[in-house]
Chain A
Amino acid sequence: MFAGEDGEAAAFAMRIVVEMAGVVGADRLIDVTAAHVDGCLYHGIAGLEFAERLVTAGARVRVPTTLNVGYLDLLHPERYRGDKPTAANARRQMDAYVEMGCRPTWTCAPYQLAERPGLGEHVAWAESNAIVFCNSVLGARTARYGDFIDIAAAITGRVPLAGLHRDEERRASLLIRLEGIPERLLASDALFPVLGHLIGREAGSAVPAIVGLPADTSEDRLKALGAAASSSGSVAMFHAVGLTPEAPTLEAATGGAAVPEIAVTAASLRAARDELETAKGGDRLSAVCVGTPHASLSQLERLAELLGGEQPSVALWVNTGREILAEADLRGVSGALERAGVRIVTDTCTYLSPMLGAAKGRVMTDSGKWAWYGPANIGVKVVFGSLEECVRSAFEGRIVRDPALWADA
Chain B
Amino acid sequence: MAGDAQGPALVLDEPLSFWGGVDPATGDIIDVHHPQCDANVAGCVLVMPSGRGSSSSSSVLAEAIRAGTAPAAIVLGEPDPILALGAIVARELYGRTIPVVVAPMPAVRTGDVLTVRARADAVRID
Contact = CB atoms under 8 A, between A and B. Distances in A.
Contacts of A127: 55
Given A46-B62, A46-B63, A377 B56 contact: no
Interface in B33-85: 33, 50-60, 62-63, 65-67, 78-79, 81-82, 84-85
Interface in A338-396: 372-373, 375-377
B30 interface: yes
A45 interface: yes
Interface string A254-297: 00000000000000000000010010000000000000000000
A57 to B, nearest CB: 12
A82 interface: no
A278 B86 CA distance: 30
Interface residues of B, number: 39
A353 to B, nearest CB: 14
B89 A16 contact: yes
B8 interface: no
A148 interface: yes
Contacts of A234: 15, 50-53
B107 interface: no
Given A23-B84, A127-B55, A149-B58, A12 B50 contact: no
Interface string A36-62: 001101011111011001000000000
Contacts of B56: 38, 41, 43, 146-147
Interface string A145-156: 111111000000
Contact of B50 (A39, A46, A204): A204
B85 A147 contact: yes
B126 interface: no
Contacts, number: 123
A205 interface: yes
A110 interface: no
B3 interface: no
B31 interface: yes
A128 B55 contact: yes
Contacts of A407: none
Contact of A20 (B60, B85, B92): B85
Contact of B55 (A147, A204, A233, A376): A147
B93 interface: yes
Contacts of A50: 62, 89, 93
A148 B79 contact: no
B39 to A, nearest CB: 14
B20 interface: yes
The binding surface of chain A is classed by DSSP as helix
Contacts of A47: 59, 62-63
A215 B34 CA distance: 35
A146 B66 contact: no
Contacts of A275: 33
B21 interface: yes
A231 B79 contact: no
A372 B59 CA distance: 20
Interface string A109-126: 000000000000000001
A145 B80 CA distance: 11
A144 B82 CA distance: 8
Interface in A121-144: 126-128, 131, 143-144
Interface of A: 12, 15-16, 19-20, 23-24, 38-39, 41, 43-47, 49-50, 53, 126-128, 131, 143-150, 204-205, 230-234, 275, 278, 372-373, 375-377
The 7 residue pairs across chains A and B that have the minimum distance between CB atoms: A44-B63, A146-B55, A146-B82, A46-B62, A146-B58, A46-B63, A147-B59
10 contacts: A20-B81, A23-B85, A43-B19, A44-B59, A46-B63, A50-B62, A127-B55, A204-B50, A232-B53, A234-B52
